Amino acid sequence: MGCQTHSHGWGDRPDGLNKNARLTLQGRFLLVERLTQQGWTVAQAAQAGGLSTSRAYHWLARYHGGGAAALADRGPAPQRCRNRTSAARVAAIGGLRRQRLSGPAIAKQLAMPVSTVGKVLRRLGIGKLAALEPKPAVVRYQRERPGELIHIDVKKLGRVQAVGHRITGDPRDRRRMRAGNTCMSASMRPRPWLIARCWLTSARTARLHFSTWR
């Protein structure tokens, strides 16, 4: 940790190349080929490529140090960091976190900055204590044999035999007409799918009707 990285045109292009780069990968290959095989001077190759002499020396040194693969773009992260947190410290932070210690408590015990401990925890994927909990098993709608599970739905509906008091305006019609209720019951069985409907007098009768249905 401890090393700050800054973006200078990276990530703006879908191919990952730096948008501010003077030469593409093929342009760097051509530059190196002119210097190593065609006998061009560094000044001539730099002028033809539209870059400075020092930058041409830079790409030539990269080629001599790592071959053609070294001419590709590198990320903005530093190659070396003197203040990088050691692997032993990272392991200690992870071990204390698994003992359910908070970030400030770990930083106090190891005498480290809280921000550094927080970055290490996030990098390890345990920035939150909930990440230490085992993930619950996925509950799937799956049965071993067809017909093991039957869905029953009962809906109570009121009977209508005549025009009510809301139409006639006579409150006595509400008391005289007690038609009662009826129940529409539907049952569904998965795999193979089978649906049945019936009209019954009560919800209890509907449940009893389908209790032995397979």
Q: pLDDT value at position 188?
A: 66
- Same domain flag for 91 and 70: no
- Same domain flag for 99 and 122: yes
- Same domain flag for 170 and 202: yes
Helix, coil or strand: residue 2: coil
155 is in which domain, residue-wise?
A: 151-210
- Same domain flag for 21 and 54: yes
94, part of any domain: yes
Pull the structure tokens for residue 29.
């290959």
- Same domain flag for 70 and 9: yes
144, part of any domain: no
Pull the structure tokens for residue 143.
């049965």
Nearest to 75 by CA among 11, 28, 1, 24: 11
Q: pLDDT value at position 48?
A: 92
Q: pLDDT value at position 192?
A: 58
36, part of any domain: yes
Structural domain ending residue among the three candidates 74, 95, 112: 74
Q: pLDDT value at position 14?
A: 46
- Same domain flag for 166 and 195: yes
Query: Which residues fall within 8 angstroms of residue 2, CB to CB, at 6 or more apart?
Result: 81, 82, 83, 84, 85, 116
- Same domain flag for 162 and 202: yes
Number of domains in the chain: 3
Question: What is the distance between the alpha carbons of residues 165 and 174, in angstroms, rounded to a whole number?
Answer: 6
80, part of any domain: no
Pull the structure tokens for residue 2.
């401890």
* pLDDT tens across the length of the chain (214 residues): 445 444 444 444 445 566 777 888 889 999 999 999 999 999 999 999 889 999 999 999 999 998 888 888 877 777 788 888 899 999 999 999 999 999 999 999 999 999 999 999 999 999 998 899 888 888 776 767 766 666 677 777 777 777 777 777 777 766 555 667 777 766 666 655 555 666 666 656 655 555 555 5
- Same domain flag for 7 and 69: yes
Q: pLDDT value at position 5?
A: 44
10, part of any domain: yes
**Global pTM exceeds 0.75:** no
User: Residue type for 134, please?
Assistant: P
- Same domain flag for 64 and 3: yes
- Return the bridge partners of 158, or none: 181
Q: Calculate helix-pair angle for 42-49, 53-66, nearest 10 degrees.
A: 110
145, part of any domain: no
- Same domain flag for 1 and 44: yes
- Same domain flag for 3 and 55: yes
Q: pLDDT value at position 11?
A: 44
183, part of any domain: yes
Dihedrals phi, psi of 65, to nearest 5 degrees = -85, -30
61, part of any domain: yes
- Same domain flag for 123 and 163: no
Burial 98-131 (b: 16+ CB within 10 A, else e): eeebebeebbeeeebeeebbbbbbeeeebeeeee
